């Protein structure tokens, strides 16, 4: 008969056996210490070519943070597992330190994880119960109550695997004790200021005492909620595609033909389609009432996180929030590529085109925010900037993001849209063009 430790090892092996390259989040606490040792055992017992790396994120929130980093490095050396550490700075005065720390931690994971690896975390059965109750506190629907999945898409090209999600903390405590493992006891875990700690210290013990099997029952409810969400995704997928145009914008007119419940579900899945954080019920209500149904002459906007929901010509658009660029200018040595601010992309000069080269005494700058009247090539008269953008169907929020190239103080071109008479070539000029390589914001967000 297998021991409890052997059962856990076999369970983890079944979850990760199809992967060869693993990056484990290693805090040094009980859970991740147990998981790291389990992975070490799997590699040793099965003699597999399993490549394991461990990443420790030093949040700097405790005066012992550096000691913990040293401890984690020592453990990895003992197990002959490659150790990576990342130090991040988090303001301890922030209202939601838990969320801020998690966001920074997963950003570090994303930056380190390569396309051949999967991310492994040590979330267990009790964590799942806490996540479910915290979602319940926030008034979440089935999507939020589904809590954590054993396998979740990450960075669009790989996965987060949670092989301990059906293993209780008490079983992990026994595993650590049986294998005489040393782990970090984080004093911040005793601070009831944090919601999860409050649940863990004051609420869950009472619930477990009354109903010992509650974690398993909560996990079942979370699974059923996730199953319902998956079914809704399947049922609404084709309908959602019918509502989208080639730019990924969703039709307000078509959404109006559905019931409120179906409309909200479609908007939620539209955002989810880009692997962005799914908006809450209240946020979806505001997207509809304050953006979709705003007055005809309004330029409505609803922001959550780094995302803006906008409206233009009867469609809703998902837009990246950026800092104001109007009035700013950047020098550009056109012999080199130029990385635009706010992750808007990269500009490169290409030989041959309809834009003239700068003269020796002309300095190139990149600016934003077209204003005044412009003399465009092909027209014998000037046009107002607003009129130009309207005729080219450029949404208001996009207008301030289009790079404008100046030679000294003369506007030469709005990249990809028009060339001015000042910027056009003549028989004596050598022509160039400017390539704008745009970054995919949705790929950035999903990391």
**Residue 32 marked as a ligand binder:** yes
CB 364 within 8 A of CB 358: yes
- Beta strands 364-367 and 404-407 are antiparallel
Distance CA 270, CA 263 (A): 10
**Token pair belonging to 5:** 């430790």
**Residue 27 marked as a ligand binder:** yes
CB 347 within 8 A of CB 367: no
Distance CA 20, CA 35 (A): 16
Distance CA 410, CA 155 (A): 42
Buried b / exposed e along 270-295 (16+ C-beta atoms within 10 A):
bbbbbbbebbbeebbebbbeebbeee
Residue partners of 336: CB distance under 8 A and separation at least 6: none
**Residue 187 marked as a ligand binder:** no
**183: nearest Cα among 349, 257, 321, 72:** 72
**Residue 207 marked as a ligand binder:** no
Beta-strand ranges (E) seen in 313-427 are 315-320, 329-331, 338-339, 346-356, 364-367, 373-374, 383-384, 404-407, 410-414, 418-419
Distance CA 67, CA 184 (A): 10
CB 34 within 8 A of CB 124: no
The angle subtended at Cα 321 by Cα 316 and Cα 325, nearest 5°, is: 120
Residue partners of 353: CB distance under 8 A and separation at least 6: 431, 432, 433, 434
Distance CA 427, CA 446 (A): 49
Query: How many other C-beta atoms lie within 10 A of the C-beta of residue 349?
Result: 18
**341: nearest Cα among 305, 315, 368:** 368
**Residue 360 marked as a ligand binder:** no
Q: What is the residue-wise DSSP string for 133-191?
A: HHHHHTT--HHHHT---SEEEETTTEEEE-TTTTS-HHHHHHHHHHTT------GGGG-
Give 342's DSSP letter: G
Q: Residue positions in the annotated binding site?
A: 27-32
Q: Residue positions in the annotated binding site for ATP?
A: 27-32
């Amino acid at each position: 008969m297998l021991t409890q430790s052997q059962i856990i090892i076999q369970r983890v092996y079944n979850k990760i056996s199809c992967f060869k390259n693993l990056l484990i989040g290693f805090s040094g606490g009980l859970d991740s210490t147990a998981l790291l040792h389990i992975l070490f055992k799997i590699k040793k017992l099965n003699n597999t070519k399993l490549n394991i790396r461990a990443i420790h994120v030093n949040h700097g929130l405790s005066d012992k943070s550096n000691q913990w980093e040293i401890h984690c490095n020592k453990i990895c050396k003992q197990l002959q597992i490659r150790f990576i550490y990342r130090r991040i700075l988090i303001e301890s005065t922030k209202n939601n330190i838990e969320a801020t720390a998690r966001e920074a931690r997963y950003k570090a994971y994303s930056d380190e994880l390569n396309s051949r690896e999967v991310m492994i975390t040590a979330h267990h059965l009790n964590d799942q119960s806490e996540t479910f109750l915290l979602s319940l506190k926030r008034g979440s629907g089935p999507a939020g109550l589904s809590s954590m999945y054993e396998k979740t898409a990450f960075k669009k090209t790989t996965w987060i695997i949670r092989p301990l999600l059906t293993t209780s903390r008490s079983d992990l405590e026994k595993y650590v004790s049986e294998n005489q493992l040393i782990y970090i006891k984080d004093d911040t875990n005793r601070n009831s200021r944090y919601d999860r700690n409050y649940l863990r210290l004051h609420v869950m013990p009472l619930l477990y005492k009354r109903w010992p099997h509650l974690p398993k029952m909560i996990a079942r409810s979370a699974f059923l909620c996730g199953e319902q969400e998956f079914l809704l995704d399947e049922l609404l997928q084709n309908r959602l595609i019918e509502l989208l145009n080639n730019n990924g914008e969703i039709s307000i007119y078509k959404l109006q033909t559905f019931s409120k419940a179906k409309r909200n579900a479609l908007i939620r899945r539209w955002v989810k389609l880009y692997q962005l954080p799914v908006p809450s019920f209240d946020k979806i209500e505001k997207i509809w009432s304050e953006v979709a149904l705003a007055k005809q002459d309004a330029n409505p906007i609803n922001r959550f996180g780094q995302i803006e929901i906008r409206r233009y010509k009867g469609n809703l658009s998902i837009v990246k929030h950026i800092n104001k660029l109007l009035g700013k200018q950047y020098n550009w040595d056109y012999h080199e590529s130029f990385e635009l601010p706010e992750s808007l992309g990269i500009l490169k000069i290409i030989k041959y085109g309809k834009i003239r080269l700068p003269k020796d005494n002309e300095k190139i700058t990149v600016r934003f925010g077209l204003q005044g009247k412009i003399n465009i090539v092909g027209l014998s008269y000037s046009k107002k900037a607003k009129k130009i953008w309207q005729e080219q169907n450029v949404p208001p929020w996009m207008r301030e993001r289009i790079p404008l190239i100046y030679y000294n103080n003369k506007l030469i071109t709005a990249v990809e849209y028009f060339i001015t008479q000042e910027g056009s070539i003549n028989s004596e000029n050598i022509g160039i063009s400017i390539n704008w390589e745009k970054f995919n914001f949705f790929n950035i967000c999903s990391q």
